Amino acid sequence: ERASSAVTPLSIPYIPGLLAFREGEPMLAALDALSVEPDLLVCDGSGRVHFREAGVATHVGVLLDVPSVGVAKSLLCGDPDEPTDERPEGWRTPIRADDSVETAEPDAAPVIGHAYQSRQYPNSRRVNPLYVSPGHRVSPATTVELVAALCAGYKLPEPTRIADAYADAVKRDAA
């Protein structure tokens, strides 16, 4: 199959920073059911923009040894180089590790991702940026370029939009 789902009971509540423990197992089960091997995983969550530089995109990417990126709608941690409010479409700025991030380079404030303004409206600058970060086998700079190419005029990357629509259909059919 080119699309798959896994319906499993969730035993862990949503806790910021622990998404991989809540949703990692169902994600792995759904990916295991695919008939094609993905070239890239685009995860709805963080990669290195995480307190331990190990968000859900990192966990799943490492376990499957597949390149992965995290695309989050809110900033979990880190410090963007520039303010993120009211930016034009296509704008991006690095996110650096701050004191909340346990990093191998604590004195260097390494780049752990980017704030990326994927969509904006000409008359209203109220669309928040995405917070994109490498999960596994992808650099921060490549991550933002991949996400920019996958957004194609929409706020979210195309794989995320397709997965959201598929999940909605699965939930509708299960009801």
Q: What is the pLDDT of residue 84?
A: 96
Question: What confidence score (pLDDT) does residue 20 get?
Answer: 96
What pLDDT shows up at residue 105?
A: 81
Name which CATH class applies to 19-174: alpha beta
Question: In the chain, what are the domain boundaries?
Answer: 19-174
- pLDDT at residue 108, rounded to an integer: 86
25 backbone dihedrals φ, ψ, rounded to 5°: -60, -50
Q: How does pLDDT run along the chain (175 residues), one tens digit per residue?
A: 689 999 888 889 999 999 999 999 999 999 999 999 999 999 999 999 999 999 999 999 999 999 999 999 999 999 999 999 989 999 999 999 999 999 888 778 899 999 999 998 877 777 899 999 999 999 999 999 999 999 988 999 999 999 999 999 999 998 8
